[in-house]
């Protein structure tokens, strides 16, 4: 079979089949097209203004490394006039973050960008390793997610920067749309797809310039540009956490590659149909409560994913609601139906309005919060309360874990030999 030529330039041999539309391209054309598409995303949504200082949330992973590389290229090519810098969060996870931070440090040199590292340890007095030792592996992603959001904001504030860009890609956004549908989470459905999430409450605006870029193409870009990135997933993200949405998106991509973009498009369209009272009274997808509200997704790579446990929990809650509802109708059967209709929307409306109105600052740390004390501070309170005990407990916990894993290994051996 003769080698096919690049569909774009018709001169060089095609070496890449674009995951997005199965177009055959040569390396140079692929890189240019990828960059141009990001450029179009940036210009069509007027993401930046001249001489803006922008911090790139850099984890050392493929998404943020590609983002940094592409932004640097575009900034020079199209003369955006941006001042770019890298902002990294050190969660304090040995064997994962310390290695990936080395990557970011190299990136800073390669791209000639200043780098700022903000550590959980210095901000909160707790590294993630310490948190995990205290709360266990289950549920620690909540802490990490809450802490990260604030840490990014604080890091940006320290640098005097008002705009943080993150490496969320089209797959992430599509996953979030599906997940929020499965969760029945309308407020998040309404704002999950918007490219910029800024709010009146926070000074710092967030955006995702790679929103329309396929994860697979990001990997291809990183590969062909020979970018230096770190590809290990967080050691605390267990397999079980890979939720339904993720699998579903992968299957959909196999059936129809465009479906990732189609989901993003649906998500954007649906965001406009979310009733205003749900998304906080503004016509535009609201971001007012973002700072606090966006947390259970956990860390960037986990964004929108959910464990089976979460699904089971929701199921239980819904079943309880339903039995409660059926009891209610039974008692007032004759006039129940019409009455309920008017009653229900009110119920769901009231707490949301209250939430938006009471947006203020955390009493302890001054971070925006709808409560008196922000989520990070209340999580910290829980952690700190138990601190004295922790030292002892940690020791026991570690031992326990070790012995159990030894036991597990022994079991495996038994199975192997018997098999």
Partner 1 sequence: MPAKELANPCVDCGDAEFVVDVRSRRLCKPCFERYVSLKVLRRIENYRRPKSVPKGQPYKLLLPLSFGLSSSVMLHAVNAQLERQLSKPYPMVGFEVHVLVIEPSSISPSSASAESRFDLLQKTFPRHSYKMLPFHSIYEYEPTIQDIMTQFAGEEFVDDASLSHKERLDAFRASIATATSKADVDQVLLNRLIVAYAKELNCDAILWGDSDSRLAAKTLANVAKGRGSALTWQVSDGKSPSGFEFNFPLRDLFQAELHSYANLIPELMAIIVPDEPPSDNTLTKNLSIDELMMRYVQTHGEKYPGVMANVTRTANKLQPAAVSAKARRCAFCDAFMGDSDEKSEFCYACARSRPDLAC
> Of residues 333-372, which lie at the interface with partner 1 (CB under 8 A)?
337
What are the residues whose beta carbons fall under 8 Å from the beta carbon of 281, sequence distance 6 or more?
Answer: 353, 356
* Cα–Cα distance, 383 to 319 (Å, whole number): 32
Q: How far is the CB of 229 from partner 1 (least distance, A)?
A: 29
Q: How far is the CB of 233 from partner 1 (least distance, A)?
A: 24
240 touching partner 1, by CB under 8 A: no
Q: How far is the CB of 242 from partner 1 (least distance, A)?
A: 15
270 touching partner 1, by CB under 8 A: yes
What are the residues whose beta carbons fall under 8 Å from the beta carbon of 101, sequence distance 6 or more?
Answer: 60, 88, 90, 117
Indicate the burial class of 368 (C-beta count within 10 angstroms; 0-12, 13-18, 19 or more): buried
Instruction: Kindly tell me which of 15 and 270 has the beta carbon lying closer to partner 1.
Output: 270
> Of residues 11-50, which lie at the interface with partner 1 (CB under 8 A)?
21-22
Q: How far is the CB of 288 from partner 1 (least distance, A)?
A: 20
Instruction: Kindly tell me which of 192 and 300 has the beta carbon lying closer to partner 1.
Output: 192
CA 300 to chain CA centroid, nearest Å: 4
Helical residues (DSSP H) of 56-169, grouped into ranges: 62-77, 97-110, 120-124, 128-135, 140-159
> Of residues 187-206, which lie at the interface with partner 1 (CB under 8 A)?
189
Are 7 and 23 within 8 A, CB to CB? yes
* Cα–Cα distance, 162 to 7 (Å, whole number): 41
Report angle CA 213, 217, 219 to the nearest 5 degrees: 115
Q: How far is the CB of 326 from partner 1 (least distance, A)?
A: 8
Q: Which of these, 42, 16, 45, lies nearest to 29 by C-alpha position? A: 16
Per-residue x/- mask for partner 1, residues 278 to 307, rule CB under 8 A? Answer: x-----------------------------
Size of residue set near partner 1 by CB under 8 A: 45
275 touching partner 1, by CB under 8 A: yes
CB atoms within 10 A of CB 346: 9
322 touching partner 1, by CB under 8 A: yes
Strand partners, 206: 164, 197
Kindly tell me which residue out of 2, 95, 273, 342 binds partner 1, with binding defined by CB under 8 A.
Answer: 273
CA 34 to chain CA centroid, nearest Å: 22
178 touching partner 1, by CB under 8 A: yes
Which is it for strands 205-207 and 196-197: parallel, antiparallel or unpaired? antiparallel
311 touching partner 1, by CB under 8 A: yes
314 touching partner 1, by CB under 8 A: yes
Instruction: Kindly tell me which of 269 and 401 has the beta carbon lying closer to partner 1.
Output: 269
Site of interaction with partner 1 (CB under 8 A): 21-22, 177-178, 181-186, 189, 244, 248, 251-252, 254-259, 261-263, 265-270, 272-275, 278, 311-312, 314-315, 318-319, 322-323, 326, 337
């Amino acid at each position: 079979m003769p080698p096919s030529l690049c569909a774009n330039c018709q001169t060089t041999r095609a070496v890449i089949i674009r995951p997005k539309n199965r177009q055959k391209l040569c390396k140079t054309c692929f890189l240019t097209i990828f960059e141009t598409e990001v450029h179009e995303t940036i210009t069509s949504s007027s993401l930046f203004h001249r001489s803006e200082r922008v911090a790139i949330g850099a984890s050392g992973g493929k998404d943020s490394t590609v983002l940094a590389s592409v932004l640097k290229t575009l900034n020079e090519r199209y003369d955006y006039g941006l001042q770019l810098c890298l902002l990294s969060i050190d969660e304090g996870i040995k064997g994962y973050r310390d290695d990936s931070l080395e990557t970011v440090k190299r990136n800073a040199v390669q791209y000639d960008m200043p780098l700022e590292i903000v550590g959980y340890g210095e901000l909160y007095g707790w590294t993630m390793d310490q948190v995990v030792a205290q709360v266990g592996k289950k549920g620690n992603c909540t802490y990490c997610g809450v802490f990260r959001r604030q840490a990014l904001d604080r890091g940006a504030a320290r640098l005097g920067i008002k705009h943080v860009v993150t490496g969320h890609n089209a797959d992430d956004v599509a996953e979030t749309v599906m997940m929020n549908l499965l969760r029945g989470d309308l407020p998040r459905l309404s704002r999950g797809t918007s490219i910029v999430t800024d709010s009146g409450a926070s000074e710092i605006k967030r955006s995702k310039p790679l929103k329309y870029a396929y994860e697979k193409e990001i990997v291809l870009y990183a590969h062909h540009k020979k970018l230096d990135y770190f590809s290990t997933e967080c050691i605390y993200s267990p397999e079980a956490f890979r939720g339904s949405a993720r699998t579903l998106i992968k299957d959909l991509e196999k059936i129809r590659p465009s479906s990732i973009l189609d989901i993003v498009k649906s998500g954007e369209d649906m965001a406009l149909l979310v009733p205003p009272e749900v998304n906080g009274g503004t016509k535009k997808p609201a971001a007012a409560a973002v700072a606090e509200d966006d947390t259970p997704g956990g860390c960037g790579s986990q964004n929108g994913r959910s464990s089976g446990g979460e699904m089971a929990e929701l199921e239980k809650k819904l079943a309880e609601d339903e039995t409660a509802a059926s009891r209610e109708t039974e008692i007032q059967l004759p006039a129940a139906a019409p009455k309920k209709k008017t009653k229900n929307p009110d119920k769901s409306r009231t707490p949301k309005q209250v939430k938006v109105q009471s947006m203020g600052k955390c009493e302890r740390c001054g971070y925006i919060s709808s409560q008196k004390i922000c989520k990070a501070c209340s999580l910290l309170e829980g952690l700190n309360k138990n601190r004295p005990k922790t030292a002892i407990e940690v020791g026991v916990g570690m031992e326990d874990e070790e012995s159990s894993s030894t036991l597990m290994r022994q079991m495996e051996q038994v199975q192997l030999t018997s098999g």
